[in-house]
């Protein structure tokens, strides 16, 4: 059987395409490497979610090789099974969107024009996007309604233009500590506002509303309140009868004909056997790193350096989010009992953000530069990560009665308040994906080798936002406030590697996210993004995938 | 290997063959925690050792665990948490990180060698005060700190993971730390060794 479209991956980049094509009556095959968890299979079991490789591949089966700079400035490559730096996020039907925290921010109009607005940065590869905010706006709105986003729009100086006045789902219930963040911000002159989440606060179709389990990020959702690709899109798409999902199916090669059209996707099934499928169009959405890897692995006579890579751009300009994080502690004995009673409960949602500094005046250069956002949070519920952190005091291992007292004090007498500031990860020539020349996965295929070049200029807005965040935590009355820029990659927030643009010499994809070189290949995860914006990516990945789904439908219709 | 749990009725046969059976179960990847705990009560492990640790190693490990997480009146101790049985299960669990499992076991021999070198005594010949000093000394070396840190993490798992994994009986660890567990909790079908089997058994049938 020849399918109309074969989609590789089933996460946030794939879901909208699966949904739209199924609704339009095309027959869709989804090849997903991971297993197919249903909602009833998710529990709040830390062992499954964070202590063992269940939602992600085991290191012994699949891993990455990471290149980082050593103390002498030389690039050093280390496999993740040695460093224990897990570079997987979620391998399952629905991808990592099952396990996300779902902070959803739209990009702003200036994010589409970073080069024009702010100029290039030395050793950075800043560019403008081939589309504008206005081109994407209708699809953000569509995500809010179809996938489900909750929140409250309030006016602020960087509010992006919207075609609808508000989010379709009202804000989620939060811990009262949210008000503390807002009040502390106001005292310092900062506008701390509600943050939107890709989580529904009211039932929608077969999905129940969020039930405030307080185990959200890293855990699957048991009410379908979280707007994962599986809960929000794939389940509805299946009802059309036009979608077939093949879980445990790892695609390793896309075979082309002499016209450089893909004719078959080759995959390993659970038993490790090789299978192939035929389709008219192919869509790759395996998350940025694995998408580039699959294209690079797909060497054909018409594409000897990998699919869509005759111009040599696949894997280049990989981006993450540049972040600064920090925390402080609200000690219960610093406040009146009734104040503490407000906040000392299991509720972990805060949903407060500060967007005042999306653009900042750089005191050093005297110019306007791109800033970012700050999300305010409290510590996650699951106890293992908290407990493990308490083992160390600097480099010293704490144990015995001293450790037990420390642990008990940490859990029972304070609340950790946190911030995460997001800024642009400046694309650069030292951040890219290639195939490792030696290391192989369990099927014998080369693993992705990722060079993790960090641009020093990322630190400028990061440090600025960390400073503001610390002021707010201190104003709230938190003790031991600290925070800093992190120069490592955000493993869960990946984009780039197959830039879209108008020039086939410098970009992999057209502005419609079709490969310049391969007429029946689309890429719909975050790989297309030439720059990332100062927000987490998933809202934009969803929106763009809805946009591209329309182009795919047009192309399929024109072939009929 | 279903007959493994069937065999436990025949206690005598089981005791003589216990080490081989456990080893065979590990090799074939069929050792679930339930069958493991049925096979080894804490007492037997302590007296005789088991397929991974001899009696001397068991004694050292238990002593070090008690020093790392003492029964000092502040919350549960090792025995309350069933932490030793939990650790023995982890050391047999091929899904847990192999390097740490190996280090956890090698560290025990290393500890004994350290006291033989420094105090001219086997670890178990030391008084309680000397044992505590020895552990403090281990913690001054990189290797010792890494080893102790791994054991302490396993103890924390016995304190805070779902009781279904053998530690934290009746949520005793959660209660001590005022922790509210998330809902839904783990179940037998969805515990980590079984979940993928359960998930795959629920797939819709396709003609692929
Ligand atoms: C703990 C956590 C918290 C997060 N929080 C947020 C947040 O607050 N806000 C936000 O915006 N984002 C968040 N994210 C990120 C978000 O999940 C991702 O941005 C989003 O899911 C990416 O979509 P994707 O389609 O690119 O990849 P995924 O959703 O990961 O889907 C890719 C799928 O492709 C499959 N695949 C890979 N290779 C192959 C192959 N060769 N063959 C077949 N299938 C393959 C994978 O198994 C996977 O299922 C979070 C992620 C995690 C893990």
Inform me whether the pLDDT recorded for B65 exceeds 70.
yes
Which residue of B72, B183, B206 is in closest CB contact with A44? Answer: B183
The per-residue DSSP string of A332-398 comes to GGGS-HHHHHHH-SS-----EEE-TTSEEE-TTT-SEEE-EEEEEEE--S-HHHHHHHTTEETTEEP
Inform me whether the pLDDT recorded for B10 exceeds 80.
no
If we measure between CA atoms, which residue out of A366, A506, A490, A377 comes closest to residue A424? A490
Q: What are the domain boundaries of chain B? A: 2-180
pLDDT digits (tens, 9 = 90+) for A424-474: 999 999 999 999 999 999 999 999 999 999 999 999 999 999 999 999 999
Binned at pLDDT 50, 70 and 90, residue B5 comes out as very low
Give strand pairing partners of A415: A330
- Distance CA(A294)–CA(A246), nearest Å, equals 18
| Average pLDDT rounded to a whole number, residues B125-135 | 98
- Look up residue B136 and give its two tokens: 């403090």
If we measure between CA atoms, which residue out of B204, B83, B60 comes closest to residue B155? B83
Contact B72 A404 (CB under 8 A): yes
| Average pLDDT rounded to a whole number, residues A6-23 | 98
**Residue to mutate (ligand 1; options A148, A249, A287, A441; most atoms within 8 A of CB):** A287
Inform me whether the pLDDT recorded for B204 exceeds 90.
no
Inform me whether the pLDDT recorded for A58 exceeds 50.
yes
Binned at pLDDT 50, 70 and 90, residue B205 comes out as confident
Contact A404 B69 (CB under 8 A): yes
Count the Cβ atoms, other than its own, within 10 Å of residue A301.
9
Amino acid B20: pLDDT: 42
Inform me whether the pLDDT recorded for A84 exceeds 60.
yes
Give strand pairing partners of A422: A323, A373
Inform me whether the pLDDT recorded for B23 exceeds 90.
no
Around ligand 1, the residues with Cβ closer than 6 Å are A 8-14, 31-34, 89-92, 95-97, 99-103, 217-218, 250-251, 285-287, 290, 294, 492-493, 525-526, 536-539, 541
| Average pLDDT rounded to a whole number, residues B164-170 | 97
Q: If DSSP codes are grouped into helix, strand and coil, which group holds residue A560?
A: coil
Inform me whether the pLDDT recorded for B208 exceeds 50.
no
Do A349 and A172 meet the contact criterion of CB atoms below 8 Å apart?
yes
| Average pLDDT rounded to a whole number, residues B72-80 | 98
pTM: 0.94
Amino acid B24: pLDDT: 44
Alpha-carbon gap: B11 to the closest alpha carbon of chain A (Å): 32
Amino acid B49: pLDDT: 75
Q: Which ipTM did the prediction report? A: 0.94
Poorest-pLDDT segment among A126-135, A251-260, B36-45: B36-45
As a three-state string, the secondary structure of B20-54 is: HHHHHHHHCCCCCHHHHHHHCCHHHHHHHCCCCCC
- Strands (E) across A9-129 are located at 28-31, 65-69, 75-79
CATH numbers and ranges of domains, chain A: 2-559 (3.50.50.60)
Question: Does an H or E element contain B175, and which?
Answer: helix B172-176
| Average pLDDT rounded to a whole number, residues A148-156 | 97
Poorest-pLDDT segment among A99-108, A345-354, A529-538, B23-32: B23-32
| Average pLDDT rounded to a whole number, residues A134-153 | 98
| Average pLDDT rounded to a whole number, residues A111-125 | 96
Angstrom CA distances, A92 to A293, A440, A477, stand at: 18, 22, 42
- Distance CA(A210)–CA(A218), nearest Å, equals 16
- Distance CA(A520)–CA(A505), nearest Å, equals 19
Inform me whether the pLDDT recorded for B16 exceeds 50.
no
């Amino acid at each position: 059987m020849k399918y109309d479209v074969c989609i590789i991956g089933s996460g946030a980049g794939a879901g909208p395409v699966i949904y739209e094509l199924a609704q339009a009556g095309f027959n869709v095959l989804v090849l997903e490497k991971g297993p197919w968890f249903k909602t009833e299979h998710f529990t709040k079991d830390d062992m499954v979610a964070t202590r063992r490789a269940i939602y992600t591949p085991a290191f012994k089966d699949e891993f990455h090789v990471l290149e980082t700079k050593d103390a002498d400035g030389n690039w050093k490559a280390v496999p993740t099974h040695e460093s224990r730096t897990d570079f997987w996020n979620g391998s399952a039907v629905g991808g990592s969107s099952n396990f996300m925290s779902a902070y959803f921010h739209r990009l702003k109009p200036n994010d589409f024009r970073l080069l024009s607005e702010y100029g290039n940065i030395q050793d950075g590869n800043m560019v403008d996007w081939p589309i504008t905010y206005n081109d994407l706006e209708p699809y953000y709105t569509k995500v809010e309604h179809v996938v489900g986003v909750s929140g409250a729009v309030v006016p602020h100086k960087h509010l992006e233009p919207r075609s609808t006045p508000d989010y379709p789902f009202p804000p989620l219930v939060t811990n009262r500590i949210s008000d503390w963040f807002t009040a502390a911000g106001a005292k310092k002159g900062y506008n701390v506002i509600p943050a939107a989440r890709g989580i529904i606060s009211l039932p929608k179709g077969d999905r129940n509303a969020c039930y405030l389990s307080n185990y959200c990020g890293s855990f699957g959702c048991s009410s379908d309140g979280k707007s994962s690709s599986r809960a929000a899109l794939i389940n509805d798409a299946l009802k059309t009868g036009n979608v077939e999902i093949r879980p445990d199916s790892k695609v390793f090669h896309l075979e082309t004909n002499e016209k450089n059209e893909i004719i078959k996707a080759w995959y390993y099934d659970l038993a490790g056997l090789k299978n192939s499928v035929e389709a008219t169009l192919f869509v790759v959405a395996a998350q940025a790193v694995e998408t580039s890897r699959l294209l690079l692995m797909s060497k054909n006579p018409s594409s000897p350096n990998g699919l869509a890579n005759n111009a040599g751009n696949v894997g280049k300009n990989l981006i993450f989010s540049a972040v600064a994080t920090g925390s402080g502690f609200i000690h219960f004995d610093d406040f009146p009992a009734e104040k503490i009673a407000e906040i000392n409960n299991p509720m972990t949602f805060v949903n407060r953000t500060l967007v005042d500094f999306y653009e900042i005046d750089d005191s050093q250069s005297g110019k306007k530069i791109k800033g970012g956002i700050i999300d305010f949070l409290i510590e996650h519920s699951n106890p293992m990560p908290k407990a493990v952190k308490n083992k160390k005091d600097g480099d010293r291992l704490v144990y015995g009665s001293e450790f037990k007292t420390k642990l008990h004090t940490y859990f029972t007498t304070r609340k950790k308040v946190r911030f995460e500031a997001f800024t642009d990860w400046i694309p650069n020539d030292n951040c890219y994906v290639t195939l490792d020349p030696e290391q192989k996965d369990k099927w014998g295929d080369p693993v992705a080798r990722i060079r993790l070049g960090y641009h020093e200029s990322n630190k400028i807005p990061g440090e600025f936002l960390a400073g503001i965040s610390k002021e707010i935590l201190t104003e709230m009355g938190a003790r031991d406030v600290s925070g800093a820029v992190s120069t490592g990659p955000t493993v869960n927030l990946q984009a780039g590697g197959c830039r879209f643009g108008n020039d086939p010499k410098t970009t992999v994809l057209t502005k419609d996210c079709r490969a310049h070189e391969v007429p029946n290949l689309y890429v719909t995860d975050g790989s297309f993004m030439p720059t990332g914006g100062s927000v987490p990516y998933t809202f934009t990945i969803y929106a763009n995938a809805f946009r591209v789904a329309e182009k795919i439908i047009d192309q399929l219709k024109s072939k009929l | 290997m279903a007959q493994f749990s069937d065999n436990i009725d025949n206690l005598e046969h089981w005791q003589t063959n216990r080490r081989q059976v456990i080893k065979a179960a590990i090799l074939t990847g069929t050792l679930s925690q339930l069958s493991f705990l049925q096979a080894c009560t804490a007492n037997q492990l302590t007296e005789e050792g088991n397929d991974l640790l001899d009696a001397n190693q068991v004694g050292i490990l238990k002593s070090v665990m008690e020093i790392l997480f003492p029964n000092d009146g502040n919350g549960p101790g090792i025995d309350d948490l069933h932490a030793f049985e939990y650790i023995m299960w982890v050391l047999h669990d091929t899904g847990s990180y192999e390097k740490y499992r190996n280090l956890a076991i090698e560290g025990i021999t290393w500890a004994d060698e350290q006291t033989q070198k420094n105090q001219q005594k086997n670890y178990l010949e030391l008084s309680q005060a000397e044992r505590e000093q020895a552990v403090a000394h281990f913690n001054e070396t990189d290797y010792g700190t890494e080893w102790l840190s791994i054991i302490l993490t396993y103890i924390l798992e016995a304190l805070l993971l779902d009781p279904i994994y053998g530690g934290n009986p009746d949520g005793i660890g959660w209660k001590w730390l005022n922790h509210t567990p998330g809902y839904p909790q783990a179940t037998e079908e969805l515990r980590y060794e079984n979940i993928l089997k359960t998930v795959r058994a629920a797939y819709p049938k396709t003609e692929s």
